[in-house]
């Protein structure tokens, strides 16, 4: 995790930011993702958990296409999706942001 945040690259699409790092390590899947919602912006755990569930579901639905592109490029990534908005966003906004950000590591 330290390596990801110190040497990784980033991109943003409101209300999310992605940090990613290509790795040579042997991973079980083409990409590993983590989801972060800052406690500074959302004090209550149930609010943070709801946003993380929305992010995870959007990632689950879009990762199939991303995995296909990764297999063709023979690359592996470690990624962190960070929620940057100060207010709770609807699922549709989160899903569209993840769909835009998921292809950034390949560019």
Q: pLDDT tens-digit profile of 12-29?
A: 999 999 999 999 888 889
> pLDDT at position 42, please?
97
Non-local CB neighbours of 22 within 8 Å, separated by 6+ positions: 75, 76, 77, 105
> pLDDT at position 33, please?
96
> pLDDT at position 18, please?
97
Reported as a single tens digit per residue, the pLDDT across 44-60 is 999 999 999 999 999 99
Where residue 104 falls among pLDDT bands split at 50, 70, 90? very high
Where residue 106 falls among pLDDT bands split at 50, 70, 90? confident
For strands 31-36 and 77-83, give the pairing. Answer: parallel
Q: Which CATH class is domain 2-106?
A: alpha beta
* pLDDT(37) > 90: yes
């Amino acid at each position: 995790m330290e390596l990801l945040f110190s040497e990784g690259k980033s991109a943003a699409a409101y209300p999310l930011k992605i940090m990613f790092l290509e790795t040579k390590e042997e991973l079980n899947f083409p990409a590993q993702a983590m989801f972060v919602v800052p406690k500074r912006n959302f004090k209550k755990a149930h609010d943070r958990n709801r946003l993380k569930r929305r992010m995870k579901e959007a990632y689950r639905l879009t990762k199939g296409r991303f995995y296909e592109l990764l297999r063709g490029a023979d690359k592996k990534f470690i990624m962190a999706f960070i929620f940057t908005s100060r207010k709770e966003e609807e699922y549709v906004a989160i899903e569209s942001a993840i769909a835009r950000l998921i292809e950034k590591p390949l560019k």
